[in-house]
Amino acid sequence: MKIIITLIGLCVAFSVAGQAKTGRLEVTQLTGDYYIYTTYRPLNGTPFPANGLYLVTEAGVVMIDTPWDTTQIQPLLELIKVKHNCNVLMCIATHSHDDRTGGLEYLRKKGVRTYTSSLTNEISKAKGNKLAEFLFDKDTVFTIANYSFQTYYGGPGHTKDNIVIWFEEDRILYGGCLVKSTDATDLGYLTDADLKAWPTTIRKIKQKVLRPSYIIPGHQGWGSNAALDHTLRLLDDKNKISAVEKR
């Protein structure tokens, strides 16, 4: 499936030196027109980060995933407007948890085109989570102005529906919560995880995505492009422990 969105208008990108911080929001320029935004929620009494990505194009801003909740979205929209002199055009959520979908309804009301896979929509609807306006049934190439990127579903892992986004031209893999940061010491939230399928899914992504320059995990730091291999090591450790516990 291929989706092309054309919008008349020009977004002018202003440089962001280092990080721009607004309360619970941090924005860091990754490279060129790509920015990582990070929001926080308390975990065991300590603020815990969730990463999203946005891309500034000539047609508007493409957002991957939403902040945790609606209180964090408007500051992000305002920051984007001030920094880049343009609005968010569309948003794709990479799975059904609220650190990815929590802002979908708010964005839709702001006129942003919101997307998820049909599987994410099915799970979100069953759980009463926020829903996207538009759905895709299979891996989809989006072309927005001068950029193209692809959604890719390798299989279950962190959740049954988790997808990644591959910006092939710039070698950027947005892994979301399927991929663990090299800062992570464990696999995190596992209530909806498929620990048996997860390693196979990561290996499929490694075959699909060759030589990524950047890998963006759903949480914690993204300074290393070894996150896929680190995720496999964490899974191997976890599955070994599970095997011992079952004896």
For residue 21, give the amino acid letter. K
pLDDT in tens, 90-114: 999 999 999 999 999 999 999 999 9
Contact 52, 28 (CB under 8 A): no
Beta-carbon neighbour count of residue 31 at 10 Å?
11
Residues 6+ apart with CB under 8 A from 77: 87, 88, 110
- Rounded to the nearest integer, the mean pLDDT of the chain is 90
**Total tally of structural domains belonging to the chain:** 1
DSSP 8-state symbol, 111: T
What integer pLDDT is reported at residue 58 of this predicted model? 96
CATH code for the domain in which residue 195 is found: 3.60.15.10
Q: Tell me the Ramachandran region of residue 244: left when phi exceeds 0, alpha when psi lies from -120 to 50, beta otherwise.
A: alpha
Domain range holding 33? 2-246
pLDDT in tens, 21-70: 444 799 999 999 999 999 999 988 889 999 999 999 999 999 999 998 88
